[in-house]
Chains A and B, each alone.
Chain A
Amino acid sequence: MITSFRARLHARTSRSLTSLDRLGSTSFAVLGVSGTRVLLGFVGFMFYASQYADRHYLFGPSGVESWSRFLTVLDETGTFSLYAVSTSTAWFELVFHLGMLLALAVTLGVGGRPVLALHWVFLWSVYQRDQFLLDGGDNLAYLVIPMLMLTRCYDRLSLPSGLAGRVKDRLPAGLRAAQTPLHNLGVLAIAAQICLVYVTSGLYKVQGKLWQDGTALFYIMRIPEFELPGFSRLVYENDLLVIAGTYATTLFLVYFPLGVLVPKLRPWAAVASIGFHLSIAFFMGLTGFALTMVACDLIFLSRPLAAGIRLAGRVRDRVAASVRERAGWPEQSAVTATRTASAENAG
């Protein structure tokens, strides 16, 4: 009996050691975190772009938040902002536009993780200039970008950049070996963060009277700032939709971690979250917030994303082939053939 126990114990340890080994040698969710990087970069870019016309009013040296108050808050928080360096308009324009370009570079996958770190510095700086503009999406963005820096989020969905590859080749072997475990830790951190977000917001909803009554959606969707005239009405005037929506929201948020822990449920939990946040974007106009949440959900969707990309590639090939046939164009030229081949290798 003791021997069988010992054998079982041995089997179990060796099993957990194998899975630990896998965590040290296989990078998980590379495509997913690459998608996270693309979408987070895009949301950051749109933060600048959507306030572009109002940038002087919101972030400039003589902006709506007074300069002295801006400096006081920085001091009280014990942090920095590049916007605080100088009161010159030229400096402000430089920092704002550089920040915008960095966000674009992150979206396109140019420059690798050093550019991602710089993007964080610029984004943090602009957030500090006018804190009243911020929401949970911005909060999540500044938490997740450093975690993303641990991951191999430039391995996919990025423009090929010779420089990054060359830098990578020059890295000492020890550092290169550390890449995979670091990557997996980064993915794990993002997963834990998003679970903390959902569970916290879910558990506080459980305590709310309107959420318990099942009428919270009715009240929230009528607040002018979060209403979409003509459409929100269709939901909040429908009793069934209000109550089902309120309860579905709370249940989804509270049980999200369980959905993520069970591999079979994982993509479905992520898809539910994406649907939930896209409807927040549509009805409540919180595009940046919603897409930031969606970006983090992508880490659970590597496999479906890969399938989607393969499908898109097949559709594109088929369309291209039929177009060629109809128009009587010649077969693929040697140049495009190599380009396709290298793109497939990179994928």
Chain B
Amino acid sequence: MLLGGAALLGLHFALASFSQAPATPLKVQHFDKVKGYLNPYFVQNWMLFAPDPLADDRGVLARAQCQDGSVTDYHDVTTSYVRKAQASRFFPSRMSRLVSAPMQSINATDPLLDRLREKHKDDIAKDQKDQKDGEGKVRLMPEEQKAQDNAVRFLSRYSLTQMPDACGGDPQRIQVRMYVRELPPWSKRNAPAKAGKDTVQVQDFDWLKVGELR
């Protein structure tokens, strides 16, 4: 029994380790089968802060469009929960993850496709220049697009709950803006801080109808 059990354990951990291996040709070929075994109760992901950890300040702003067509200012729906998390060291509130986790799934594109995109980035840039409205946008595969849409829908719904007074409580549409504020890199860590000179990138997502989110 001991030996049989140990053999089963060995097999289980071989498959679990395989699911954590980098994208080797073997993994590309067989990963779906292994996933069939591991899903859903043995699924795991241990790329904790690796290989490339986040290194900037990111978050989400949101604005609403009212019945009369006017558009509100941007609401910061990120910072208050980050402050709340910082304020406690004993099981702090996880509310800030309602922003950071969907943002991560927006940015988590398929690693294999990312490699292809990196390889052909000149072609992609040319392609984007030819398109009229595709400025700076990476074209995503259907699966990636679906994950992104779901994350944006979630963020919009979340933002709605965080700005209950917008448009007198009756907004018609909502738009989410993602920002990435670069923090000074290591090489400039001792340079004096320049106020208002931060590099901030933003990405605006489509307006969504409030009625469809509720």
Nearest B residue to A249, CB-CB: B49
CB distance A185 to B2 under 8 Å?
yes
Identify which of A49, A143, A220, A288 contacts B49 (C-beta below 8 A).
A220
Q: Is A132 an interface residue (CB 8 A)?
A: yes
Q: Return chain B residues, CB-CB under 8 Å to A197.
A: 44, 46
Q: Is the CB of B46 within 8 A of A66?
A: no
In the complex, what residues of A have CB within 8 A of residue B44's CB?
139-140, 143, 196-197
Given A77-B40, A196-B46, A223-B55: A54 touches B95 (CB 8 Å cut-off): yes
B residues 41-61 near A (Cβ < 8 Å) are: 41-57
With A133-B98, A224-B82, A285-B85 as contacts: A201 and B48 at CB distance below 8 Å = yes
What chain B residues lie within 8 Å of A184 (beta carbons)?
A: 2
A225-233, A296-304, A323-331: which one contacts chain B? A225-233
Flag if A215 contacts B51 (CB, 8 Å): no
- Assess the B5–A181 pair: CB atoms within 8 A: yes
Residue of A nearest to B102 (CB): A132
Closest A residue to B160 using CB positions: A64
Q: Bound state CA distance, A129 and B2, in angstroms?
A: 38
Cα distance, A185 to B8, chains bound together (Å): 10
Residues of A within 8 A of B157 (CB): 64-66
Number of interface residues of B (CB under 8 A): 58
Which B residue sits closest to A78, measured CB to CB? B40
Which residues does chain B contribute within 8 Å of A103, judged by CB atoms?
none
User: CB-defined interface of A180-202 with B at 8 Å, one 1/0 digit per residue?
Assistant: 01101100110011001100110
| Whole-angstrom CA separation of A297 from B85 in the bound complex | 26
B53 contacts A228, C-beta separation under 8 Å:
no
Assess whether B94 is in contact with A50, with CB atoms less than 8 Å apart. yes
Q: How far is it, in angstroms, between the C-alpha of A78 and the C-alpha of B86 when the chains are bound?
A: 36
State the main secondary structure of chain A at its contact with B: helix
Per the bound structure, the CA–CA distance linking A188 and B9 in Å amounts to 9
Q: Could you tell me if B2 and A23 are in contact, using CB atoms closer than 8 angstroms?
A: yes
CB-based nearest B residue for A230: B86
What are the interface flags for A37-74 relative to B under an 8 Å C-beta threshold, 1 for contact and 0 otherwise?
A: 00000000011011100100110000011100100000
A residues within 8 A CB of B5? 181-182, 185
The reply on A5 being an interface residue by CB < 8 A is no
Tell me whether A222 and B53 are in contact (CB under 8 A). Answer: no
The reply to whether A185 and B6 form a contact with Cβ atoms under 8 Å apart is yes
Count of A-B residue pairs with CB < 8 Å: 163
Q: Determine how close the nearest CB of chain B comes to the CB of A339; give it in whole angstroms.
A: 32
Q: Which of A78, A124, A182 contacts B39 (CB 8 A)?
A: A78
* Chain B, Cβ-Cβ closest to A131: B101
**Per-position binary interface string of chain B over residues 20-33, scored 1 when its CB falls under 8 Å from any chain A CB and 0 otherwise:** 10000000000000
Provide the bound-state CA to CA distance between A124 and B91, in Å: 19
Q: Is B93 an interface residue (CB 8 A)?
A: yes
- Please report the C-alpha to C-alpha distance between residue A152 and residue B213 in the assembled complex, in whole angstroms: 48
How far apart are the CA atoms of A3 and B46 in the complex, in Å?
Answer: 50
A205 with B154: CB separation less than 8 A:
no
A79 vs B40: C-alpha distance when bound (angstroms): 7
B2 touches A51 (CB 8 A): no
Q: How far is the CA of A285 from the CA of B152 in the complex (A)?
A: 26
Bits for B147-191, please: 1 = Cβ < 8 Å to A, else 0. Answer: 000100110011001000000000000000000000100100100
B105 to chain A, nearest CB (A): 8
- CB A321 to nearest CB in B, in angstroms, measures 35
**In chain A, what residue has the closest Cβ to B3?**
A20
Is B210 close to A, CB under 8 A?
Answer: no
State A255–B13 Cα separation when bound (angstroms). Answer: 18
Q: Name the A residues within 8 Å of B97 (CB-CB).
A: 132-133, 135
Q: Which of A28-36, A206-214, A267-275 is found at the contact surface with chain B? A: A206-214
Q: Is B17 an interface residue (CB 8 A)?
A: yes
Complex CA distance for A254 and B53, rounded to whole angstroms:
17
Closest to A150 in B: B5
Q: Is B92 an interface residue (CB 8 A)?
A: yes
Q: Is the CB of B51 within 8 A of A225?
A: no
Residues on A with C-beta less than 8 A from B40 are 77-79
Roughly how many angstroms separate A224 CA and B51 CA in the complex, as a whole number?
A: 20
CB <8 Å contact, B154 and A65: yes
Separation of A205 and B6 alpha carbons in the complex (Å): 30
* A227-B86 contact in complex given A132-B154, A136-B45, C-beta closer than 8 Å: yes
B residues within 8 Å of A by Cβ? Answer: 1-3, 5-6, 9, 12-13, 16-17, 20, 39-57, 79, 82, 85-86, 88-98, 100-102, 150, 153-154, 157-158, 161, 183, 186, 189, 213
List 28 contacting pairs A-B, 8 Å CB cutoff, sorted by A: A24-B2, A46-B91, A50-B91, A65-B154, A131-B101, A133-B94, A133-B98, A139-B43, A139-B45, A182-B5, A196-B44, A197-B46, A201-B48, A204-B47, A204-B50, A205-B50, A219-B53, A219-B54, A220-B54, A223-B54, A223-B55, A223-B57, A224-B57, A228-B89, A281-B89, A285-B88, A287-B91, A287-B92
Query: With A64-B158, A215-B186, A222-B55 given, can you name 9 additional A-B contacts, CB distance below 8 Å?
Result: A65-B157, A133-B94, A133-B101, A192-B13, A193-B16, A205-B49, A207-B51, A211-B53, A224-B79
